[in-house]
Structure 1
């Protein structure tokens, strides 16, 4: 009985409120950029792809210059100082950049890693934006190096034929900028296609068709056909690297420089916006 009494006199200890688990700090966008850069850098194929692409593009510029440059003709009669890349060079650069941009997303869908990514970072839109920033920055650097290398290699050959130009020659800075930026533009287009299709082979085929084949279906003989042709990245690049003014009597069928720059801006913006929307709404 005394035990009961002592027990009754023992003050009841109120249970302490369970300590709630500390909320994890939100993932910073800089952390996402670092994570995406690690993913790209850790791929063994990345440096080899970049190196072989640069070697081929610069080599094609040198080979084309040797084949077509006319001695003592002056820079106006040699197309290469303004085009920077020959057709084989810029087609390859566009396709490789688009494929690399697509692989940044479609490879995670194929391996199932996208599930881990979305669990770690529920903000899917931020993940896509981080991928886009890393892809754009990487291929802008690659494009700048390849464009500069192609220009100086071709000019070294043309200088021996008294037909070279300097990098400050009218039209050359614009051509250099357009040639460097065509790579990140195509990389972001590939990223957008990957978000829509989510299949490696189908994404690559669609990228090749969109960037390389589509302009060939639309000539400049009619206004509507020319408008579609000029709205493609490849045609916009061609216009930006040309050092001539359009014929005032035929403006309806000739792309303008501002319009071509607009193509460079609209395509990647639309591609990234679609990628963000699609990844947010679709189940992984």
Structure 2
């Protein structure tokens, strides 16, 4: 009887190398993303549109500067604007598609997490990974890495596409130019931070439509509202510098920083703070709330 009881209660230990660990969780989240055709298509569209917008920006600079050069009088030339403004835009051409990239990446990040609550798939995720924080961290890391690659890759392709367009107008753009390479890499950094920021919103709201509207509202609509009411008080323009979208714009700036604006590093730190704070809040809330 004692022998039978001992055999019944004995549990064979799991073989070495099996069980749940962060690398396996990370792999599972990667499979979830890259096996959904709509996600892959959306990411491909993001790259194409970002490159297309950069090509249009390069073409606009060439056309306007040609018009200025071809003007018959200084007065006619001034109607097209200050040529120095367009010269200053050249180093930032690779990052011209950032606005559209933020829109799609923010929406995708919300959908990837909020849709799991909408479909109930999150229960399967947390059943496979009982500790919720590793599961959420894996989701955030996957979308952040993908967003960085998409952003930096699209910016570099944009740089290559802009080269012949600018050369047609006797203009040049080189990776050795001040701030150009950093702007290309920071385009990826900006999208990665926006992805984490947006996924945290989706995690907190657990609703796809509400999460997308909230993320887009904070990133795109709020700065427009602030620009309308900034004349009411002097502190409003100062506070607007710390909005996520404005900080992200400064992060990819390749030219001279305007007086009173955040530097490239400061913009990156502000955007990183937004993403980190929301990520921590989303982790704490998800750990304490019921599925």
Of 239, 243, 255, which residue of structure 1 is paired with 2:255?
A: 243
Query: Larger C-alpha radius of gyration, 1 or 2?
Result: 1
Structure 2 SS opposite 1:21: coil
Q: 1:29 maps to which residue?
A: 22
Q: Considering only aligned residues, what root-mean-square deviation do their CA atoms show, in Å? A: 2.3
Q: 2:75 maps to which residue?
A: none
Give, in angstroms, the shift of residue 160 of structure 1: 1.8
Give, in angstroms, the shift of residue 74 of structure 1: 8.0
Q: 1:197 maps to which residue?
A: 205
Equivalent pair of 2:92/2:183 in contact (CA under 8 Å): yes
Structure 2 SS opposite 1:84: helix
Q: 2:104 maps to which residue?
A: 96
Equivalent pair of 1:80/1:154 in contact (CA under 8 Å): no
1:108 aligns with 2:116: yes
Give, in angstroms, the shift of residue 26 of structure 1: 4.8
Relative to structure 1, the CA distance from residue 36 to residue 84 in structure 2 (aligned partners, 3 Å threshold; closer, same or farther) is same
Equivalent pair of 1:192/1:275 in contact (CA under 8 Å): yes
Task: Give me the whole-angstrom Cα distance separating, in 1, the residues matched to 2:125 and 2:3.
Answer: 42
Of 213, 230, 238, which residue of structure 2 is paired with 1:227?
A: 238
Of 21, 38, 41, which residue of structure 2 is paired with 1:45?
A: 38
Range that drifts further, 199-208 or 257-266: 257-266
Equivalent pair of 1:74/1:162 in contact (CA under 8 Å): no
Task: Give me the whole-angstrom Cα distance separating, in 2, the residues matched to 1:22 and 1:114.
Answer: 30
Task: Give me the whole-angstrom Cα distance separating, in 2, the residues matched to 1:256 and 1:145.
Answer: 24
Q: Structure 2 stretches of 5 or more lacking a match? A: 70-82
Give, in angstroms, the shift of residue 179 of structure 1: 1.5
Q: 1:7 maps to which residue?
A: none
Task: Give me the whole-angstrom Cα distance separating, in 1, the residues matched to 2:172 and 2:195.
Answer: 31
Structure 2 SS opposite 1:283: coil
Task: Give me the whole-angstrom Cα distance separating, in 2, the residues matched to 1:243 and 1:13.
Answer: 80
Of 73, 84, 88, which residue of structure 1 is paired with 2:94?
A: 84
Give, in angstroms, the shift of residue 107 of structure 1: 1.4
Give, in angstroms, the shift of residue 242 of structure 1: 4.2
Relative to structure 1, the CA distance from residue 118 to residue 158 in structure 2 (aligned partners, 3 Å threshold; closer, same or farther) is same
Which aligned runs of 4 or more in structure 1 are off by greater than 6 angstroms? 72-76
Range that drifts further, 50-59 or 270-279: 270-279
Range that drifts further, 22-31 or 153-162: 22-31
Relative to structure 1, the CA distance from residue 188 to residue 37 in structure 2 (aligned partners, 3 Å threshold; closer, same or farther) is same
Give, in angstroms, the shift of residue 76 of structure 1: 6.5
Q: Structure 1 stretches of 5 or more lacking a match? A: 1-11
Range that drifts further, 170-179 or 219-228: 219-228
Task: Give me the whole-angstrom Cα distance separating, in 2, the residues matched to 1:192 and 1:178.
Answer: 21
